Amino acid sequence: MTEQNEAKSLPEAYPNPQEKQALLDLLTTSGSELFAALEPHTHRQPHVAKPENIWSPAQIAEHVILTDTAIMGAVKKALSQPARDDWKTASAGKADTLRNIALGANKRVASAALTPVENLDLCDAMERFQKHRRELLDFFEALLSEPRLCPMHAHILPNERFGEMSAYQWGLAIGYHTLRHVRQVRGLLDCG
C-alpha cells in the first residue's frame, strides 16, 4: 500500500493532534522526571550498600537507555511493516495496559540484553540519558510532523508480553517504562 493509499484508506490511523501532543508530552515529562529523580543521588556516596538485586540509580539510567533503544528498534520495525486494516482490533486496549503497568508495583525482571553492565558513574549515566532522550524526542518530533506523518496506529508489531502493538503504542511504552523507573529511583532515597 502506498502512502497516498494509506492516507485515503486509513485516516483514523494517523495520530490526531491530541495524540501527537500526548506522546511528545509523555516522552518529555518522563525524561525530565527521571533526570530530576536521579539528581539527588549525585550528592550521595556512590558505593553505599544496597539490598541485593537492587539497581543503583546509574544502573537504572543505563537500563532505561537500553530499553528505550530496544523499543525504538520496535517502533522502526513496526513502521517498516505494511499498514493493517485491522489495526483497531489488533491493538485495542494496549495503551491502558501500558499505563497500568507504569503505575503498578509488580516487580519485573529485565532480560539480559536490557540489564546494565557498563558500571557507569551516575553523572555519566545522566549525561548519556539526556543525550539519548533528546535524540529520541527529535525522532518522534520528526515522525509526528506533517511532512513525515504516517499512520502509526496501523503499523503493528507484536510484543511477547502484550501482544499486537501499534508503532504509536510502542512509543507510549517508552514513556510509561521511564515513569515506572522514576518511582523506583525515588524509592531508593528511602532505602538509604
CB 114 within 8 A of CB 63: yes
Residue 114 is classified by DSSP as G
Lowest mean per-residue pLDDT among 9-13, 75-79, 167-171:
9-13
> Can you give the pLDDT at residue 52?
67
Decide: 30 and 68 in contact? Cβ < 8 Å.
no
Chain Cα centroid distance, residue 105: 18
CATH number, domain 15-44+51-191, options 2.30.29, 1.20.120, 1.10.30, 3.40.630: 1.20.120
What is the maximum alpha-carbon separation in the chain?
59
Report pLDDT digits (tens) over 133-183: 999 999 999 999 876 678 999 999 999 888 999 999 999 999 999 999 999
Give the per-residue pLDDT at 4: 46
Mean pLDDT of 13-37: 95
Give dist(CA 56, CA 87) in Å, integer. Answer: 39
Q: Above 90 in pLDDT, residue 192?
A: no
Q: For residue 5, name the pLDDT band (cuts at 50, 70, 90).
A: very low
* Alpha-carbon dihedral 138, 139, 141, 145, rounded to 10 degrees: 130
Q: Tell me the range of 5-9, 47-51, 53-57, 93-97 where mean pLDDT is highest.
A: 93-97
Q: Which three cell numbers stand for residue 98?
A: 501500558
Residue ranges of domains in the chain = 15-44+51-191
- Report the range of poorest mean pLDDT among 44-48, 120-124, 147-151: 44-48
User: What value does the CA radius of gyration of the chain take, rounded to a whole number of Å?
Assistant: 18
In this structure, the dihedral spanned by the alpha carbons of residues 6, 138, 33 and 77, taken in order and rounded to 10 degrees, is 50
Q: What is the pLDDT of residue 1?
A: 45
The pLDDT value recorded for residue 46 is 55
The pLDDT of residue 147 is 62
Question: Sorting pLDDT into bands at 50, 70 and 90, what band is 61?
Answer: very high
In terms of Cβ atoms closer than 10 Å to its own Cβ (0-12, 13-18, 19+), residue 90 is middle
Average pLDDT, the chain: 87
**DSSP-derived secondary structure for 49-97:** ---TT---HHHHHHHHHHHHHHHHHHHHHHHHSPP-TTHHHHTTTHHHH
Q: What percent of the chain has pLDDT over 70?
A: 86
Confidence (pLDDT) at 7: 43
**Per-residue pLDDT at 51 exceeds 50:** yes
pLDDT at 148: 65
